[in-house]
Amino acid sequence: MKHIWVLLCLLSPTASRAPAVTPRPSSPALAASGAFFALSVADLAASTRWYAEKLGLQVVMQVPRQEKTVVTVLEGGGLIVELIQHAEAQPATADRVLTHGVFKVGLMLDNYEQALGLLRARQVAIAYGPFPAQGRQRANVIIRDNAGNLIQLFAK
């Protein structure tokens, strides 16, 4: 029930749509065909900066703190990322594979090769790969965000 209010907050007219805390990157690194994921983060400002600087996303909404939660939504290149900082959230284990729940997210990119070049230029940590296309496997790479979350990027 508590999580439903986050969605309601996003639809609230009190939510700010000004990108006040995020520098404007030159261009989005990713071109996805409509993708979304939400993350619980320990440091909202640091994660907002990472997604803006490394992936080229723009802040499109900032929901002021309500009780113990504050939310920022970033968007660009067909991707929407919702970052949620809750005062009582607990960190996952160091090895995401050993934590129940989502352990990585994945995106199908229209611009895989270009994105890979931009991510390298922006010094994004590559966790695994890149792996070339072979057989039924698409070309892909797994990157790690500032908080250790894994994001797998696939060529279309």
Please give the residue that has the higher pLDDT: either 49 or 110.
49
Asked if the structure places residue 114 within a domain, the reply is yes
Asked if the structure places residue 99 within a domain, the reply is no
- pLDDT at residue 51 tops 80: yes
Q: Please report the pLDDT score of residue 17 as a whole number.
A: 41
Q: Please report the pLDDT score of residue 24 as a whole number.
A: 52
- pLDDT at residue 2 tops 70: no
Q: Please report the pLDDT score of residue 25 as a whole number.
A: 54
Cα separation, 143 vs 129, whole angstroms: 9
Cα separation, 64 vs 20, whole angstroms: 12
Asked if the structure places residue 94 within a domain, the reply is no
Please give the residue that has the higher pLDDT: either 89 or 4.
89
Asked if the structure places residue 96 within a domain, the reply is no
**Residues of the domain holding 151:** 2-88+104-155
Asked if the structure places residue 97 within a domain, the reply is no
Asked if the structure places residue 93 within a domain, the reply is no
Cα separation, 85 vs 65, whole angstroms: 9
Please give the residue that has the higher pLDDT: either 148 or 46.
46
CB 110 within 8 A of CB 31: yes
What's the domain count of the chain? 1
CATH number reported for the structural domain that contains residue 28 in this entry: 3.10.180.10
Q: Average pLDDT, whole number, for the chain?
A: 81
Asked if the structure places residue 64 within a domain, the reply is yes
The listed range with the strongest mean pLDDT (19-23, 48-52, 74-78) is 48-52
Beta bridge mates, 137: 134
Asked if the structure places residue 98 within a domain, the reply is no
- pLDDT at residue 27 tops 80: no
CB 76 within 8 A of CB 28: yes
